[in-house]
Amino acid sequence: MTKKDFPKIHFYDRDLVSLYNETWVTMKDFWKKGSSENGLHTRYFGHPDASRINQVEACFSTFFLVYSNRIFPVTSVLDNFYAKQEDSGAIRGEYSEKTGKPILPHDNPKGVLPPLFAWAEHNLYHRLGVKKRIREVMPVLERYYAWLEDTFKDDNGLFAPPLAATMMDNAPREGTRYPVDFNCQMALAALYLAELSDIINDKDTNYRYKKAYFSLKTKINALMWDERDGFYYDLDAKQKRLRVKTIAPFWSLIAEVPNEARGERLIEHLVDPREFGIENPFPTLAVRDKRFDPDGMGWRGSVFPPLTYMIIKGLEKYRRHDLAREFAIRHLYYVLDGLYPASGKKGSLYEAYLPHAEGPAKWPGRRGFPRLMYLPSTALSTVSLMIENIIGLDISLPRKTVDWTIPTLELMGIEGLALKRNLITIFSAKSNRGWEIHLESEKLYYLTVNLFGARQKTLPIPSGRCSLLVDKL
């Protein structure tokens, strides 16, 4: 297996291209086989040193595995969790790779973790276009959502899981009864369950989840939003806001919880260098917080690639593609510097990064932190952000659309991307005719080109090869 087996990207910075290629070649070592003992009957994706499979990592991994030209299985990493669903609807956050049994820590006895299945399935549908799968997984996702409601939803309409369910181990969130991130994640789940049910024309289910979404969204906005600070906060048992600025509230962006005005106020915190707008976006705790640690110290300043990815996707929801690309580029250069540091000694792709300098975050009290070559998270940066935000491609097979944001005229694009059974090539390059966009596809689609944030044009692209002069657009 070589880099030639995967989609080829075109970009002027060859170091970032090499980083992308190395990710794919390394990924072959991250696949494991299930057994009769653990009940994982399909191949699954995980770090070689791991002893458990993690629900959140599985969901996030689908966002980059979908670009592997079908070399690596995508849906199986989720199906292993669905197969573990209990009669109650419960799906636990982690399972032992040895026994297949759920891991239920004392501070999280139900073993619940951020509910991201619906988001992952919605993304897979647009990349693969398999409507049949939605019909198959919806009963599983519905039972899971119902279990979360029955188990953690309080009378005030908000969710009160153990704080450990947020996975932000040592974040300064003491006294939290209603975590803002988990509530936004539940809103996100309801939002995408509504959209998935709409795709299969299930109007009753669509209405039910729309109602659940808007109800929870209203509660979050009414109780967790602080008008003075322009920020969402955790709540304690008395529904008092706990004024600690962590990365958690930015889940509200991808869940489309704030209106446009509140969204812009929230984004102001992301660009403020005194809070989250540092060179390597985004630290897990605001820089101005007295507990912020420049060494990272776990969730007191470290930069975690999945959360950076999540925030960038949230910025897209509020049409801030300019910021999304800027943050993606800045973050990716820190990832690059971590792999090839100035010292000349080869580094790694880390689970977490320093907020202000190159290299891995530190957490002296946590053994094995950060994990090395941690592709379950870092590949979101080196593959997904590279394709979606730096190159700027957003592809939907069922809609037959490719949206391409071109911020500058430079060598940029992708070649030989296989989604389902359609092979796509899109890239810009300069010829003796001027700047051209080269296109190749096995099927007709509609290309929307956003030029420099100023001009936008949609064109039907026939099957086969063709090229367009940028000047003509």
Model confidence pLDDT, tens digit, residues 329-365: 999 999 999 999 988 888 999 999 999 999 999 999 8
Which tens digits make up the pLDDT trace of 26-40? 999 999 988 888 888
Q: What is the pLDDT of residue 406?
A: 83
Q: Pick the closest to residue 384 from 11, 48, 13, 60 (CA basis).
A: 60
Range 413-419 average pLDDT: 93
Report the predicted TM-score, pTM, of the whole model to 2 decimal places.
Answer: 0.96
Is residue 471 very low, low, confident or very high in pLDDT (cuts 50, 70, 90)? confident
Share of the chain above pLDDT 90, in %: 81
Q: Per-residue pLDDT for 66 more than 70?
A: yes
Task: Report percent pLDDT > 70 for the chain.
Answer: 99
Structural domain boundaries of the chain?
392-473
Over residues 148-181, the pLDDT tens digits come to 999 999 999 999 999 999 999 999 999 999 999 9
In this predicted structure, what is the pLDDT of residue 36? 83
pLDDT value for 449: 87
452: pLDDT strictly greater than 70: no
What is the structure's pLDDT at 444? Answer: 86
Task: Compute φ and ψ for 360, nearest 5 degrees.
Answer: -75, 150
Q: Give the end-to-end CA distance of the chain in Å, rounded to a whole number.
A: 39
What pLDDT is recorded for position 151?
Answer: 98
Banded pLDDT at 409 (limits 50, 70, 90)? confident
Q: Residues 135-142: contacts with CB within 8 Å, 24+ apart?
A: 135/200, 137/78, 137/82, 138/193, 138/196, 138/197, 138/200, 138/202, 138/205, 140/82, 140/85, 141/117, 141/189, 141/193, 141/196, 142/193, 142/205
The pLDDT tens digits of the residues spanning 90-128 come to: 999 999 999 999 999 999 999 999 999 999 999 999 999
Q: Which residues pair with residue 231 across a beta bridge?
A: 226
- Mean pLDDT, rounded, for 443-462: 84
> Phi then psi for 91, rounded to 5 degrees?
-130, 120
Mean pLDDT of 191-209: 98
What was the pLDDT predicted at 42?
76
Residues in Cβ contact with 117 at an 8 Å cutoff, skipping those fewer than 6 apart: 55, 59, 78, 81, 91, 137, 141, 144, 189
Tell me what pLDDT residue 468 has: 84
Residue 184 pLDDT exceeds 80: yes
Q: 473 falls in which pLDDT band (50, 70, 90)?
A: low
Mean pLDDT of 67-84: 94
One-character DSSP codes across 183-232: HHHHHHHHHHHHHHHHHTT-HHHHHHHHHHHHHHHHHHHHHTEETTTTEE
- Residue 163 has a pLDDT of 98
